[in-house]
Chain A
Amino acid sequence: MSVPCRPHPEKPDKTICHPDPYESSFAWDGADNLVFRPVSDFLAVAPGGEAINVNAVDEVPDSSWFTNRIGREAMTVADVVAGPCAQGPALDPNAPDGSWVVDEGKANGANLGFRIKDASGQRYMLKTDDDVQPERASGATTISARLYHAAGWRAPCDTVVYFRPALLQLEPGLTVTDNTGVTRPLNQARLDQMLALAPKRNGLLRMVASRWLAGRPLGPFRYEGVRHDDPNDVIVHEDRRDLRGAKLLAAWVNHFDAREQNSMDVWLADREDDPSSAPGVVHHYYLDFGDCLGSEWEWEGISKRLGHAHYFDFGYTLEDFVTFGIVTRPWDEAKRSAQGDIFGFFNVEQFDAEKWRPGYPNPAFGRMTEHDGAWAARIIARFTPSQLRGIVQAADFTDPRHTEFIHRVLLGRQHRILQRYLAKLSPLSLFEMKGTSRLCATDLAWTSGAFSEAKFAYAAAVHRGAHAEFHGPIAVESGADGTLCMHLPHHAPDAGVPDDDAARYTILDVRNGQSRWPARVHLYDLGPKKGYRIVGLERPDSDEPPG
């Protein structure tokens, strides 16, 4: 798509043909989402509904926001570990001394860092851990970027790198701005201070290298409204299922800092030699996962609440005031574990997938419905323990018990998400016709291992015609690998009746015994030769029969 070209605001001899960059206000984003927007939403009396970008089989089509990966196709361990780094250049820590030129300081943020350009011209942001939780932030960034990417969201290529300090060569005249807004020179002494914070192994420094995104950065995306100068952006963001469902990814890794400043829109021009030209497309990325896996703040009282409450939670504060504190909150009992010492209060025991909250309210997260949550849970269910182990190993923790700890906690939190969000709406997925009469699906609740086998008991019932008359049960064959299949007898002839005639319409309700409600498949019986055609899939949230 193309947007109007106009002169560059600071370089009149240049023309830009991409959407305007958006500068997000940190203070207003927090204040608006904590106070002002909730009051506006309340007075507007506009309760949220179901997400808009959902197709007839209750899935989200590929877009500039989301690509169906692990949710649609099986991925190998190597695939998920390569993740966002599978394509494109890789940073070579064995390059000659001085190959990595430091050309920019990192502007604010929790973790210090700087930008480098390697010998090929590719830029990377290198970020260091803090000395209170060494290896956590770099590990969390590496792990979370791979989880998000495999799940379908766009994330940068973030990778832990161990390198010799001699690789770095500092450009003169650089500055760096800290979180208080004070700008200081980025000179060798300052660089040495940053490097002194980095964990070390065998004389090598550990940092996380975030590959610079291709294209022209346009600033973060908003979690509400649309970008008016992007002709493709036609669904208000708070009603996108991909943005709503990302709440469960954030809950999984405790990405409490999932606010708009930790996202990035990028303009990808068709002409790679002119990133500001049109036509092109805007891609939307999640960024900055350094808060995940148990970030701790200076004040332990705040650290214990991260993920369980907003930074200042009016709701809980008022509730605790009027109830005299009789409710025991998760942060009352939060403890660090000996095995997970660098991971703060990140654990399974206090994790409640439904009650998880980011640091301050997020318009899209706040509108996540049961269907949105179930969709995200079905994606999360596809991650196997081996894949999770591979992703955690990519974080390259020095202490093996940290690897074991994170693997165990991620598995546990995954199960908690599934036990909540696959318990009501049906977890049956990936329905497909195998042949003309055989309908098969995968039970993601079964394959996840999050539920007791004793709960599962499969049953199916057929309804036909315009009024969905009940035609009786259908036998279900289930396999040890979580697949189930049903033979659908034909009632309609091959010819003589139009394909879309109501007489051919068939609805199949399939239950797995574990979730409360069935999966409802809509098909047309096109006859014994042409077979059945799937036209839709619903996950009803009631016991109402079809029709």
Chain B
Amino acid sequence: MLLAIPRGAMAQPQGMGQRAAHAPGDARPPSPKRARPDYDGRPQEPGDAGDALLWVPRVLAFIPYVAWEYAIRRPVGWLVVTAERDDWPTKILDFFTFGEDRKAGLVPTAFFDFGFNASVGLYFFADDVGANGNDVRANVGFWGLDWLKLSARDRIELDDDSFVQIGGGWLRRPDYLFHGIGPRTLDGSASRYGADEATGFLGYDLSLWRLSALRPEIGVRDMSFRGSGWGDEPGVEARVLAGAFELPEGFEQGYTAGYARLRASLDTRRPDAERGDGIRVEGAVEQGTELDPDRAANRWVKYGGTAGGFLDLNGRHRVLSLRLSAQFVDPAGGIEQVPFTELAFLGGSGEMRGFREGRLIGRSSAAATLQYEWPLWVWLRGNVHVAAGNVLGRHLNDFDSRLLRLSSAIGLRSVGSSDHYLEFLVGAGTETYEEGWDVTSFRFVVGGNSGF
């Protein structure tokens, strides 16, 4: 392609950026839009096959483009611009926060755990209530009239390393899961029950060396149960009548238990350290006692612990950990009865998170978990785990490798606040090796502030 000899300056558009010499008061009519200069004197190159082929995806994406651009992007843009111009964020903050320094406020919450009711709610926080270091938290959640949650606590900082907490709550849910007790429960024997739970507690938290801590607590827990089904799954009583399992201890009458618990942990990891290496050993013991004189004088002891090692693979918080955990529950005081909701468990918020809450309950449990965590963003970490374990009979006495189940999950979780967090998790769990390790349990969690 031959270039032409330019007649004047090399494609220098005229009059650009310079004030013209006009006489004062020289009123001129509005200027029309300038024609685009021919910058390089070359004719436009003809399109090639690639340009023509682009029309295929362009046509295919036309409708999604129009929908996105005109039904989403532009309306949202108008909304955000209006919100900023009219200062909606300040008005929303003013509505949801209180006090000159905004030390108190309300935060909407939502939580979804596949296979259970979703919940929405409000989380209330108030710092330095009445005095510095006195923080109040409250949570209201609901999903219809049969899913209600009320809870509150007051945390009083004694110094930089310790605080006292007092609190309580009430939770009504229709969708608790029960498959029976012991290592051989099958996913196909799922049943549901409703429960009302009222709690009160007084606790003390003492931070020790690095991430080590001591946490004594006393409290009371009142439980009552209903055998109604939920969704497509039958109620517990229906399964009992069908002979799937026996009615669990405490289901019929409920219980009111006072408890005293001590948790202690020794953790060599430093908070905010450059590396995530370390070892953690934690143990807990809890004694529970039936307080209602009209019920049998049950007593039980729960105890157990976890030992884990953490290895930062490259010194950049890519942490591989191996945890071994065990829980035991023994009746005490001569009566061989422990309410089923006080038994050892796996899944839910415990180990083997590929299983849903309530799936695995027994007199004891053991699990080995290999977990890997890595940073995704400043306040977001990814995690994946593989675990083997199961709930078992008394003191793991029926342990058999053929009874092991597997659990795996991958997800991400926000970090930074112990009061509230966001989480996304996808997981799965299997039947026992004896049953062929079939993957029958699925877990999908998304949301924040599932409880405290």
Residue from A25, A182, A299, A524 in contact with B81 in the complex, judged by beta carbons closer than 8 Å: A25
Residue interface bits B244-260, CB-to-A below 8 A is 1, else 0: 00000000000000000
A174 close to chain B: CB less than 8 A = no
Residue interface bits B376-392, CB-to-A below 8 A is 1, else 0: 11111010100000000
- Asked if B376 and A27 sit within 8 Å, CB to CB, the answer is no
Of the listed stretches B27-35, B162-170, B301-309, B433-441, chain A binds B27-35
Residue interface bits A292-318, CB-to-B below 8 A is 1, else 0: 000000010110010000001100010
B161 close to chain A: CB less than 8 A = no
- Give the bracket for the number of chain B residues in contact with chain A: 35 or more
Give Cα A45 to B61, complex, Å: 8
Shortest C-beta distance, B406 to chain A (Å), equals 19
B375 close to chain A: CB less than 8 A = yes
Give Cα A268 to B20, complex, Å: 11
- Asked if B19 and A320 sit within 8 Å, CB to CB, the answer is no
Contacts of A535 in B (CB 8 A): 3-6, 41
- Asked if B29 and A2 sit within 8 Å, CB to CB, the answer is yes
B24 close to chain A: CB less than 8 A = yes
A505 close to chain B: CB less than 8 A = yes
- Asked if B36 and A40 sit within 8 Å, CB to CB, the answer is no
- Asked if B68 and A328 sit within 8 Å, CB to CB, the answer is no
Given A25-B84, A271-B24, A502-B2: A325 and B76 interface contact (C-beta under 8 Å): no
- Give the bracket for the number of chain A residues in contact with chain B: 35 or more
B54 close to chain A: CB less than 8 A = yes
- Asked if B13 and A61 sit within 8 Å, CB to CB, the answer is yes
- Asked if A61 and B12 sit within 8 Å, CB to CB, the answer is yes
Residue from B34, B58, B378 in contact with A302 in the complex, judged by beta carbons closer than 8 Å: B378
Contacts of B89 in A (CB 8 A): 27, 181
B65 close to chain A: CB less than 8 A = yes
A400 close to chain B: CB less than 8 A = no
B18 close to chain A: CB less than 8 A = yes
Shortest C-beta distance, B410 to chain A (Å), equals 9
A481 close to chain B: CB less than 8 A = no
- Asked if B84 and A56 sit within 8 Å, CB to CB, the answer is no
Of the listed stretches A128-136, A278-286, A391-399, A453-461, chain B binds A278-286
Give Cα A181 to B91, complex, Å: 10
Residue interface bits A63-92, CB-to-B below 8 A is 1, else 0: 111010000000000000000000000000
Contacts of A61 in B (CB 8 A): 10-13, 16, 39
Give Cα A86 to B81, complex, Å: 39
Give Cα A305 to B377, complex, Å: 9
Residue from B40, B87, B377 in contact with A55 in the complex, judged by beta carbons closer than 8 Å: B40
A333 close to chain B: CB less than 8 A = yes
Contacts of B18 in A (CB 8 A): 281
Of the listed stretches A112-120, A187-195, A229-237, A406-414, chain B binds A229-237
- Asked if A234 and B33 sit within 8 Å, CB to CB, the answer is yes
- Asked if A325 and B77 sit within 8 Å, CB to CB, the answer is no
Shortest C-beta distance, B385 to chain A (Å), equals 12
Given A3-B30, A36-B73, A180-B90: A279 and B20 interface contact (C-beta under 8 Å): yes
- Asked if A312 and B31 sit within 8 Å, CB to CB, the answer is no
Residue from B68, B84, B317, B379 in contact with A27 in the complex, judged by beta carbons closer than 8 Å: B84
Given A3-B31, A67-B17: A328 and B316 interface contact (C-beta under 8 Å): yes
- Asked if B68 and A40 sit within 8 Å, CB to CB, the answer is yes
Contacts of A305 in B (CB 8 A): 378
- Asked if A324 and B80 sit within 8 Å, CB to CB, the answer is no
Residue from A26, A47, A65 in contact with B84 in the complex, judged by beta carbons closer than 8 Å: A26
B314 close to chain A: CB less than 8 A = yes
Residue from B36, B57, B61, B377 in contact with A52 in the complex, judged by beta carbons closer than 8 Å: B36
Residue of B nearest to A314 (CB): B377
A4 close to chain B: CB less than 8 A = yes
Contacts of A324 in B (CB 8 A): 318, 372, 374, 382, 384
Residue from A4, A235, A271, A505 in contact with B30 in the complex, judged by beta carbons closer than 8 Å: A4
- Asked if A328 and B77 sit within 8 Å, CB to CB, the answer is no
A419 close to chain B: CB less than 8 A = no
- Asked if A56 and B3 sit within 8 Å, CB to CB, the answer is yes
Measured CB to CB, the residues of A under 8 A from B are 1-4, 23, 25-28, 31-32, 36-37, 39-40, 43-45, 47, 52-57, 61-65, 67, 180-182, 231-232, 234-235, 268, 270-271, 273, 278-281, 283, 299, 301-302, 305, 312-313, 317, 320-321, 324-326, 328, 332-333, 466, 499-500, 502, 505, 522, 524, 533, 535-536
A-B contact list, 22 entries, CB within 8 Å: A28-B81, A31-B76, A31-B80, A36-B73, A37-B73, A40-B69, A45-B54, A55-B40, A56-B11, A56-B40, A64-B16, A231-B30, A231-B33, A270-B20, A271-B24, A279-B26, A313-B377, A317-B380, A324-B382, A332-B317, A535-B5, A536-B42
The 8 closest A-B pairs by CB, nearest first: A325-B374, A301-B378, A43-B65, A64-B17, A1-B31, A55-B11, A332-B316, A231-B31
* Additional A-B contact list (18), CB under 8 Å, known A63-B13, A301-B378, A533-B5: A2-B31, A28-B81, A39-B68, A40-B69, A43-B69, A54-B39, A56-B3, A56-B10, A61-B39, A232-B34, A235-B36, A279-B28, A283-B17, A312-B377, A313-B377, A321-B382, A325-B318, A333-B316
